[in-house]
């Protein structure tokens, strides 16, 4: 699945291959002005050429499901599940009916899964987006340490995003490739000018890029106060970074520390509570206009105040916390609008990064944008500014009732509890990167995943249900499926590793098998043949057809399979950055990693309220596992492949 197209430039940041000549990028002369929307020809032609997401065969999924359960279930439990699956698949049974329904749906929709997935994974999910859903991204510490430097860097950052936006608007973004196949580019059109809106039971997403008058402003938040900043001049050209810097200075002078209500903190709430508070908030006309201005804005820039002190050693972990939740109400948690799809965060002391609301897109498009911004910000030949007067940035006002004040107080308390609960450890594993597994002819991603399995097993003496994100972007509107990294092969390897009765040759053989099995699962997942989204689809189809939910979904084994104590994701980037997210279960870990050639950045998260988990302990175990696996490979002569 890899490496067949040597003539193309390889984009090491996403692990995806970027191809200029055959993208819609070639037709630069056909460019549209800034307001161009996605409905023009090139983009659509590319999208239409993509295959639709397949519906895997029913029997295949049932068999593979049993295989995936083996390492995490007891024998008796598995026997019970097999019986339920036999009944489910029986000729003329409910499985066949649902499968037919799914196949019909696949033939009449652009993607049979994506809308359901966005609802189930995001819009119906009611825990706060903070920590529980929105990923953070930490950039290397920048070279500034005061307010002036903060504003100068932030203005370059805005200019860099606008430069990337021009490529989106003009459809000159290079198409990405994975294993020789072109990828769906839709997510790039979903991340700017969009926002999540809280509802009472289900949230929604608005995307103003598609409106007849797309927004020309960003929102800037400083000392918890929001401003609208127009970033295009009247002739449609983006403001230069010099001009933007002047505007940011005006914003900072207009927003000293005040006792104004920190309204942004409301977006950290449980979604039902925020949905209710939102209705109250927007009853007031001024508030409604202010909220709309934030929702419509291209993105939000958070100019943060001070952050808790950190040593060089803890810097990246502290920065990850700032990106994920802002550190609580006394630090920067209210200096955000967490519903906003994309928020850039720039602190006073060189700390910078981003957080994004996950519903509209996966990490890779966000990372591609950020890589571009970093490259752009390093340019020395910035365009110079014409000296035209610029409109004063507008402050957004909020009228806060006594009831809203209470909501804000409650949000502050809950946010502070959540901030105290989250533990994040960033480690830069410096001994090797993709180079070592490659030299041993192994997939680096699979090698890292098997090391995670070993680390977990050594810590808990058991395997756990493990999630790794696999991209489905080979298909139109594709999002993700699950690579189940705990397999029978990985279980055999991790159990043998510290067994003194096993020979090294045997251990290496088991390692190879585990790594190969993982890579095989990956290939299966990215080609739409994994099990998790298919099972979800069958369940949703039952709901759609108003049938009772089949027994296989009420089976405790299904709940166990979905209780991911390891929730992991590889997110590569060109820039040496770290991405992070929280655990998805109270007693689990979130592990995000960015494998570079000679080192690997990891962010491991856990909850302090869970006595069994400890991010520092697991990250140390991961380092040991990687090193021990290398040592084993180096010390053991291998059989011919
Ligand atoms: N021998 C030597 N080299 C190998 C190899 C082997 N046996 N197997 C793989 N490689 C090479 C590949 O050619 C590739 O080379 P490159 O660095 O020059 O590009 C490199 O090793 C990496 O390959 P691998 O580690 O196998 O992983 P991958 O890049 O194919 O990525 C996934 C695997 C699962 C991460 C990827 O398919 C995917 O789905 N990515 C998206 C995940 C995502 O969306 N995350 C965010 C969710 S919000
Ligand atoms: C900026 C990097 C973000 C990575 C986020 C990510 O991996 O999200 C996963 C999305 C998916 O559908 O698999 C979900 N996860 C965080 C729970 C792994």
Long-range contacts made by residues 377-385, C-beta under 8 angstroms, separation at least 24?
377/153, 377/156, 377/157, 377/160, 382/156, 382/159, 382/240, 382/241, 382/242, 383/240, 384/240, 384/242, 385/239, 385/240, 385/242, 385/243
Quick one: average pLDDT of 590-595? 98
Cα–Cα dist 252/244, whole Å: 12
Active site residue 358: yes
Residue 254 Cα to ligand 2 middle (Å): 37
85 contacts 66 by C-beta, under 8 angstroms: yes
Cα–Cα dist 430/410, whole Å: 43
What are the Cα distances from residue 457, in Å, to 412, 468, 507? 38, 17, 15
Those residues whose C-beta lies under 8 Å from the C-beta of residue 528, and which sit 6 or more positions away, are 53, 54, 56, 472, 474, 475, 478, 481
Cα–Cα dist 203/199, whole Å: 5
Residue 330 Cα to ligand 2 middle (Å): 28
Mutate to test the pocket of ligand 1, among 445, 447, 514 (most ligand atoms within 8 A of CB): 445
Percent residues over pLDDT 70 in the chain: 92
Residue 559 Cα to ligand 1 middle (Å): 29
CATH topology for 145-172+188-422? Chloramphenicol Acetyltransferase (3.30.559)
The pLDDT confidence band at residue 381, using thresholds 50, 70 and 90, is low
Cα–Cα dist 617/631, whole Å: 21
> What pairing do the DSSP bridges indicate for beta strands 225-230 and 194-197?
unpaired
Nearest atom of ligand 1 to the alpha carbon of 2: 13
Q: Where exactly does CATH 3.30.559.10 map onto the chain?
A: 28-122+430-635
Cα–Cα dist 333/408, whole Å: 12
Task: Give the residue from 338, 361, 336 showing the smallest Cα distance to 346.
Answer: 336
Supply the residue whose CA is at minimum distance from atom 14 of ligand 2: 469
Q: Given this model, what pLDDT does residue 167 score?
A: 94
Cα–Cα dist 149/153, whole Å: 6
Question: Which spans in 125-240 are helix H?
Answer: 129-132, 147-170
Q: Summarize pLDDT for 447-484 with one digit per residue, the tens.
A: 999 999 999 999 999 999 999 999 999 999 999 999 99
Q: Given this model, what pLDDT does residue 314 score?
A: 93
Q: Summarize pLDDT for 117-136 with one digit per residue, the tens.
A: 999 999 999 999 999 999 99
The pLDDT confidence band at residue 28, using thresholds 50, 70 and 90, is very low
Q: Given this model, what pLDDT does residue 389 score?
A: 85
Q: Which residues of 27-50 are buried (b: 16+ CB within 10 A; e: fewer)?
A: eeeeeeebebebebebbeebbeeb
Q: Given this model, what pLDDT does residue 609 score?
A: 98
174 contacts 185 by C-beta, under 8 angstroms: no
Of the residues 217, 222, 358, 534, which is catalytic? 358
Supply the residue whose CA is at minimum distance from atom 4 of ligand 2: 363
Task: Give the residue from 34, 4, 40, 39 showing the smallest Cα distance to 19.
Answer: 4
Q: Given this model, what pLDDT does residue 468 score?
A: 98
Supply the residue whose CA is at minimum distance from atom 10 of ligand 1: 443
Residues with CB under 6 A from ligand 2: 135, 137, 362-363, 366-367, 467, 469, 480, 567, 569, 571, 579, 581, 584, 592
Phi, psi of 183 (to 5 degrees): -110, 155
Domain at 28-122+430-635: CATH architecture: 2-Layer Sandwich (3.30)
Residue 453 Cβ < 6 Å to ligand 1: no
Q: Is the pLDDT of residue 210 over 90?
A: no
DSSP strands (E only) in 382-512: 394-395, 422-429, 466-471, 480-484
Q: Summarize pLDDT for 31-68 with one digit per residue, the tens.
A: 222 233 344 567 888 999 999 999 999 999 999 999 99
Sheet strand arrangement including 600-607: 422-429, 600-607, 589-595, 566-570, 466-471, 480-484
Q: Is the pLDDT of residue 435 over 50?
A: yes
Mutate to test the pocket of ligand 1, among 9, 360, 443, 564 (most ligand atoms within 8 A of CB): 443
Q: Is the pLDDT of residue 485 over 80?
A: yes
How are the residues of the chain apportioned to helix, strand and coil, as percentages rounded to the nearest 5?
45, 15, 40
| Residue 551: CB atoms within 10 Å | 15
Q: Where exactly does CATH 3.30.559.70 map onto the chain?
A: 145-172+188-422
Q: Is the pLDDT of residue 374 over 60?
A: yes
Q: What is the mean pLDDT of the chain?
A: 92
Q: Summarize pLDDT for 306-349 with one digit per residue, the tens.
A: 999 999 899 999 999 999 999 999 999 999 999 999 999 999 99
Q: Is the pLDDT of residue 16 over 70?
A: no
């Amino acid at each position: 699945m890899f490496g067949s197209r040597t003539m193309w430039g390889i984009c090491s940041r996403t692990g995806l291959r970027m191809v200029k000549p055959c993208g819609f990028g070639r037709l630069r002369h056909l460019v549209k002005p800034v307001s161009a929307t996605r409905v023009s020809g090139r983009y659509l032609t590319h999208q239409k050429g993509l295959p639709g997401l397949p519906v895997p065969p029913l029997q295949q999924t049932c068999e593979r499901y049993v295989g995936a359960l083996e390492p995490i279930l007891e024998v008796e439990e598995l026997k019970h599940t097999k019986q339920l699956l036999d009944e489910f698949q029986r000729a003329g049974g409910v499985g066949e009916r649902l499968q037919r329904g799914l196949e019909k749906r696949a033939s009449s929709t652009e993607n049979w899964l994506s809308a359901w997935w966005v609802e189930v994974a995001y819009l119906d999910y009611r825990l706060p987006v903070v920590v529980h859903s929105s990923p953070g991204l930490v950039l290397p510490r920048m070279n500034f340490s005061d307010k002036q430097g903060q504003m100068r860097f932030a203005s370059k950052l805005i200019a860099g995003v606008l430069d990337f936006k021009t490529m989106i608007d003009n459809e000159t973004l290079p198409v990405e490739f994975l294993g020789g196949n072109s990828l769906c580019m839709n997510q790039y059109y979903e991340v700017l000018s969009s926002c999540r809106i809280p509802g009472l039971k289900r949230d929604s997403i608005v995307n103003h890029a598609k409106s007849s008058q797309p927004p020309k402003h960003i929102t800037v938040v400083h000392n918890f106060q929001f401003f609208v900043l127009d970033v295009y001049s009247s002739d449609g050209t983006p403001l230069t970074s010099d001009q933007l810097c002047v505007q940011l200075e005006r914003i900072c002078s207009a927003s000293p520390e005040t006792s104004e209500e920190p309204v942004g903190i409301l977006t950290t709430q449980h979604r039902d509570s925020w949905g209710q508070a939102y209705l109250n908030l927007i009853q007031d006309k001024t508030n409604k206009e202010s909220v709309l201005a934030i929702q419509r804005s291209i993105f939000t820039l958070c100019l943060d105040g001070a952050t808790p002190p950190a040593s060089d050693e803890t810097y990246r972990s502290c920065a990850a916390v700032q990106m994920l939740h802002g550190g609580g109400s006394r630090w920067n948690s209210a200096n955000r609008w967490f519903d906003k799809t994309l928020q850039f965060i720039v602190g006073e002391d060189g700390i910078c990064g981003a957080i994004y609301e996950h519903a509209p897109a996966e990490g890779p498009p966000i990372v591609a944008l950020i890589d571009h911004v970093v490259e752009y910000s390093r340019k020395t030949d910035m365009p110079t500014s014409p000296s035209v007067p610029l409109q004063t940035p507008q402050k957004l006002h909020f009228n806060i009732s006594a009831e809203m004040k209470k909501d804000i107080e409650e949000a502050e308390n809950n946010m502070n509890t959540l901030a105290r609960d989250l533990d994040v450890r960033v480690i830069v594993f410096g001994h090797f990167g993709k180079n070592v597994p490659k030299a041993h002819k192994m997939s680096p991603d699979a090698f890292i995943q098997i090391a995670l399995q070993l680390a977990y097993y050594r810590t808990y003496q058991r395997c756990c249900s493990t999630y790794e994100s696999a991209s489905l972007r080979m298909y139109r509107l594709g999002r993700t499926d699950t690579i189940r990294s705990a397999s029978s092969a990985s279980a055999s390897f991790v159990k043998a590793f510290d067994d003194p009765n096993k020979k090294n040759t045997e251990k290496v053989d088991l390692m190879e098998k585990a790594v190969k099995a993982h890579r095989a699962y990956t290939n299966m997942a990215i080609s739409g043949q994994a099990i998790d989204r298919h099972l979800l689809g069958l369940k949703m189809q039952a709901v759609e057809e108003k049938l009772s939910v089949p027994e296989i979904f009420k089976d405790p084994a299904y709940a166990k399979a979905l209780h991911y104590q390891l929730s992991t994701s590889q997110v590569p980037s060109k820039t040496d950055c770290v991405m992070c997210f929280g655990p998805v279960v109270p007693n689990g870990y979130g592990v995000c990693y960015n494998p570079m050639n000679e080192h690997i950045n990891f962010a491991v998260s856990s909850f302090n309220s869970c006595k069994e988990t400890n991010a520092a302990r697991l990250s140390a175990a991961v380092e040991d596992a990687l090193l021990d696996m290398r040592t084993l490979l180096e010390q053991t002569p291998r059989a011919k492949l």
